[in-house]
C-alpha cells in the first residue's frame, strides 16, 4: 500500500502526485456544485392544472407546495429533484412536457459556464497520469489492483459475461414496450423515446399485473418505515435506536439517535437527514462515518454516522409517504450504516473494505423489503392503521421481476462506461466525451438516445464520488448479496445465528481479512470459491429456478 501512495518515487514525482490529488479534489467539488446549481436553477411552472394531467393527487399536492416555496402560490411547480422528476416522467400524459423535463435533466451541467465535460476530461487525464506515475497501465488497473476483481480486465469481463446472459431478455422487454406504445397510440411506426420509458412501463405494469405502485404509498409513512428499519436491527442484531435531542444538528429536518448495542454493551450515534433541500444537498442517498468506533484504547470513541437522502417530503396536508423504491433505498443506506457501526477495527486503513465488497451489506438489506414477515412490522396505512392487503401484496410480488433485465442492463451500462473511460477513452480520437458515453449507453438503452443526452456530465458517482473505475461494484455486490440472502431464506429471515455470523464474517473484519475468504466463510464455501451469479440471475427471472 505504501507503493500505491508513491513512497518509492522521487521527490519530484511525489510532489506531482500531491498536485494531482489537490487538483482532483478541486475538480470533484466543482463538478458537484455545477450539478447542484443546475438542478436548483430549472423548474417548470404552470397555472393550469390540466398541464399536469395524469399526475397522482399526492404529487399534485407536492407540486403546489413547490410553487408556494418558490414564491408562486396558486401555481404548480415541477423540479428536477428526484421526488418531483421521477413521478412526472412516470405519470404525466403530456409527452412534450416529459421531453422538456428529460432534456432539462440532461442539460443540467452540459451547457454554458456550468459544463462539466471539460472537468470530466481533465479528471480522466490526471487519473491516468497518476496511474502511470505509480507504474500501472491505467487508472482502472490501479483502482482494481487491491479489489476482489484484481484487474480492470477481470472487472470488464465480469460485466460483459452478465451482459451476454441478460441482453437477449432485455431486447425482448424493449420490443414489448415499443410495441405496447404503438398499440396504445395506434401508430405502428412510432418509436420509443427515452422520456416514454417510465410512462409506458407503468401503463404496461398496470395492464399486465393490475398493479399500481402508487397504491403502496399510504402504507409507507416515513416515520413508520424508519421504525421498521430500527425494528429490523433490533430483531436481528440486538440494536435499539432511541431519538435524542442532546446532539446539535444543522437543520430542523435532521433527526438524531442514540444506538444501544444490547449484545456488545456499546453506544453509537447517528444523524438522519432524508428530505431534499434544493441547492444545498446533492441528489441521491448516501451514508457517511463522521467518527469511527475505536475500541481497546484509553481514548475509545463512539461511532457517529450520517444517513442522508432526498425522499418525498411531507406537505401541509399529508405526511411523508414514500414510494416502494424509496423504502428499499432507505434500507440500502441503513445497511451501510450498520456496516460502519459494527466494524471492529482500530487502525484507519483496515476500517475500509474493497470497493467491490462495500455494497454487499447495503444491497443485502434491500431483500427484506420484499418479505411479508418484514413488511408486517411497519407497513400500515397512515390513516387506518391497516396492513397492506393480501391481494395488493401478491400483485406487488408477482410484478417484482417486471422488466428486471432492463434494470440490470442499465446498471451494467454504467459500469461498462466507467471502466472504458478509465481504460480506453482517448480525447484525441473522440473529443466529445458525452458522445463517447452516449454511444456506449445506446446499446444498454431501450430507446435511442438523442444528441443532447449527456451521460458523463451528470455521472457524479465517478466524477464527484468514490466510484471511479468502481461502478461495476454494484453488480459485483449484487452477485454476492443474492447468494448471502439465500442463507436467511433457508434458515429464517430473523435467524439470530445467521445474523451473528453475518456480523462476525462480513461486518466486523473490515480489511483485516481477504474479502473472498470472509464471504466464503459466511456461506460455508471453500475459501477460494469464486462468486456465482446464478442466484442473482434466478432471483431476477433471467434464469429459471431449479
Backbone angles phi, psi at 429, to 5 degrees: -80, -35
Q: What is the model's pLDDT at position 386?
A: 97
User: Above 60 in pLDDT, residue 296?
Assistant: no
What's the grid cell of residue 499?
Answer: 445474523
Q: What is the model's pLDDT at position 431?
A: 93
Q: What is the model's pLDDT at position 531?
A: 81
Domains and CATH numbers, the chain: 42-108 (no CATH), 117-212+404-473 (1.10.1370.10), 218-398 (1.10.1370.40)
Q: Out of 301-310, 340-349, 459-468, 482-491, which region has the weakest mean confidence (pLDDT)?
A: 340-349
User: Above 80 in pLDDT, residue 1?
Assistant: no
User: Above 60 in pLDDT, residue 453?
Assistant: yes
pLDDT tens track for 231-289:
999 999 999 999 999 889 999 999 999 999 877 677 889 999 999 887 788 778 888 88
Angle between helices 433-444 and 404-421 (to 10 degrees): 150
Q: What is the model's pLDDT at position 286?
A: 86
Annotated catalytic, 191?
no
Please give the mean pLDDT across all residues of the chain: 93
Backbone angles phi, psi at 511, to 5 degrees: -105, 25
User: Above 60 in pLDDT, residue 64?
Assistant: yes
Residue 134 DSSP SS3: coil
User: Above 80 in pLDDT, residue 345?
Assistant: no
Q: What is the model's pLDDT at position 284?
A: 82
pLDDT tens track for 88-109:
999 999 999 999 999 999 999 9
Closest among 489, 401, 483 to 166, alpha carbons compared:
401
Region 27-56 average pLDDT: 96
Contact 78, 66 (CB under 8 A): yes
pLDDT tens track for 66-91:
999 999 999 999 999 999 999 999 99
What's the grid cell of residue 1?
Answer: 500500500
Query: Does 111 or 259 have the greater pLDDT score?
Result: 259
User: Above 80 in pLDDT, residue 292?
Assistant: no
pLDDT tens track for 46-60:
999 999 999 999 999
pLDDT tens track for 490-528:
999 999 999 999 999 999 998 889 999 999 999 998 767
Contact 84, 101 (CB under 8 A): no
Region 305-332 average pLDDT: 93
**pTM of the shown model:** 0.91
Binned at pLDDT 50, 70 and 90, residue 343 comes out as: confident
Q: What is the model's pLDDT at position 542?
A: 96
Q: What is the model's pLDDT at position 34?
A: 96
| Active-site position among 333, 359, 481, 540 | 333
Query: Does 535 or 289 have the greater pLDDT score?
Result: 535
Binned at pLDDT 50, 70 and 90, residue 294 comes out as: low
Q: What is the model's pLDDT at position 287?
A: 84
Distance CA 413, CA 461 (A): 14
Binned at pLDDT 50, 70 and 90, residue 147 comes out as: very high
Q: What is the model's pLDDT at position 278?
A: 79
pLDDT tens track for 184-210:
999 999 999 999 999 999 999 999 999
Q: What per-residue string of b and e applies to 110-124 under the rule 16 or more CB within 10 Å gives b? A: beeebbbbebbbebb
443506506: which residue's cell? Answer: 333
Amino acid at each position: 500500500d505504501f507503493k500505491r501512495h508513491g513512497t518509492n518515487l522521487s521527490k519530484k514525482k511525489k510532489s506531482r502526485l500531491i498536485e494531482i490529488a489537490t487538483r482532483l479534489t478541486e475538480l470533484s467539488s466543482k463538478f458537484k456544485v455545477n450539478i447542484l446549481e443546475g438542478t436548483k436553477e430549472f423548474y417548470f411552472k404552470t397555472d393550469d392544472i390540466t398541464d399536469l394531467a395524469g399526475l397522482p393527487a399526492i404529487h399534485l399536492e407536492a407540486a403546489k407546495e413547490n410553487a408556494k416555496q418558490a414564491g408562486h402560490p396558486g401555481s404548480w411547480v415541477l423540479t428536477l429533484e428526484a421526488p418531483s422528476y421521477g413521478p412526472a416522467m412516470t405519470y404525466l400524459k403530456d409527452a412534450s412536457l416529459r421531453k422538456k423535463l428529460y432534456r432539462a435533466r440532461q442539460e443540467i451541467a452540459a451547457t454554458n459556464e456550468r459544463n462539466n465535460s471539460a472537468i470530466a476530461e481533465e479528471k480522466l487525464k490526471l487519473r491516468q497520469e497518476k496511474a502511470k506515475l505509480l507504474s500501472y497501465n491505467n487508472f482502472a488497473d490501479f483502482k482494481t489492483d487491491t479489489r476482489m476483481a484484481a484487474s480492470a480486465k477481470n472487472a470488464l469481463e465480469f460485466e460483459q459475461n452478465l451482459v451476454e446472459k441478460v441482453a437477449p431478455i432485455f431486447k425482448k422487454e424493449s420490443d414489448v414496450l415499443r410495441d405496447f406504445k404503438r398499440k396504445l397510440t395506434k401508430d405502428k411506426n412510432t418509436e420509443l423515446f427515452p422520456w416514454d420509458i417510465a410512462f409506458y412501463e407503468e401503463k404496461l405494469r398496470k395492464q399486465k399485473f393490475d398493479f399500481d405502485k402508487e397504491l403502496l404509498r399510504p402504507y409507507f409513512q416515513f416515520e413508520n418505515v424508519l421504525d421498521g428499519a430500527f425494528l429490523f436491527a433490533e430483531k436481528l442484531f440486538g440494536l435499539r435506536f432511541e431519538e435524542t435531542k442532546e446532539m446539535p444538528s444543522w437543520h430542523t429536518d435532521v433527526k438524531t439517535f442514540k444506538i444501544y448495542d444490547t449484545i456488545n454493551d456499546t453506544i453509537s450515534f447517528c444523524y438522519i437527514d432524508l428530505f431534499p433541500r434544493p441547492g444545498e444537498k446533492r441528489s441521491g442517498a448516501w451514508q457517511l462515518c463522521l467518527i469511527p468506533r475505536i475500541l481497546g484504547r484509553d481514548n475509545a470513541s463512539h461511532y457517529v454516522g450520517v444517513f442522508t437522502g432526498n425522499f418525498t417530503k411531507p406537505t401541509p396536508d399529508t405526511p411523508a409517504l414514500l414510494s416502494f423504491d424509496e423504502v428499499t433505498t432507505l434500507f440500502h443506506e441503513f445497511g451501510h450504516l450498520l456496516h460502519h457501526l459494527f466494524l471492529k477495527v482500530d487502525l484507519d486503513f483496515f476500517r475500509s473494505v474493497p470497493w467491490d465488497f462495500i455494497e454487499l451489506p447495503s444491497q443485502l438489506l434491500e431483500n427484506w423489503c420484499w418479505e411479508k414477515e418484514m413488511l408486517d412490522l411497519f407497513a400500515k396505512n397512515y390513516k387506518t392503521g391497516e396492513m397492506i392487503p393480501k391481494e395488493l401484496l401478491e400483485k406487488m410480488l408477482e410484478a417484482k421481476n417486471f422488466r428486471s433485465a432492463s434494470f440490470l442492463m442499465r446498471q451494467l451500462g454504467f459500469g461498462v462506461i466507467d471502466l472504458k473511460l478509465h481504460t480506453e477513452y482517448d480525447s484525441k480520437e473522440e473529443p466529445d466525451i458525452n458522445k463517447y458515453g452516449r454511444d456506449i449507453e445506446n446499446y444498454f438503452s431501450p430507446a435511442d438516445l438523442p444528441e443532447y443526452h449527456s451521460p458523463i456530465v451528470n455521472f457524479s458517482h465517478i466524477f464527484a464520488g468514490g466510484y471511479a473505475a468502481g461502478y461495476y461494484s454494484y453488480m459485483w455486490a449484487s452477485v454476492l448479496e443474492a447468494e448471502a440472502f439465500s442463507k436467511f431464506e433457508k434458515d429464517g429471515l430473523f435467524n439470530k445465528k445467521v445474523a451473528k455470523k453475518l456480523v462476525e464474517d462480513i461486518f466486523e473484519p473490515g480489511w483485516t481479512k481477504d474479502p473472498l475468504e470472509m464471504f466464503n466463510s459466511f456461506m460455508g464455501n471453500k475459501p477460494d470459491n469464486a462468486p456465482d451469479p446464478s442466484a442473482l440471475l434466478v432471483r431476477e427471472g433471467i434464469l429459471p429456478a431449479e
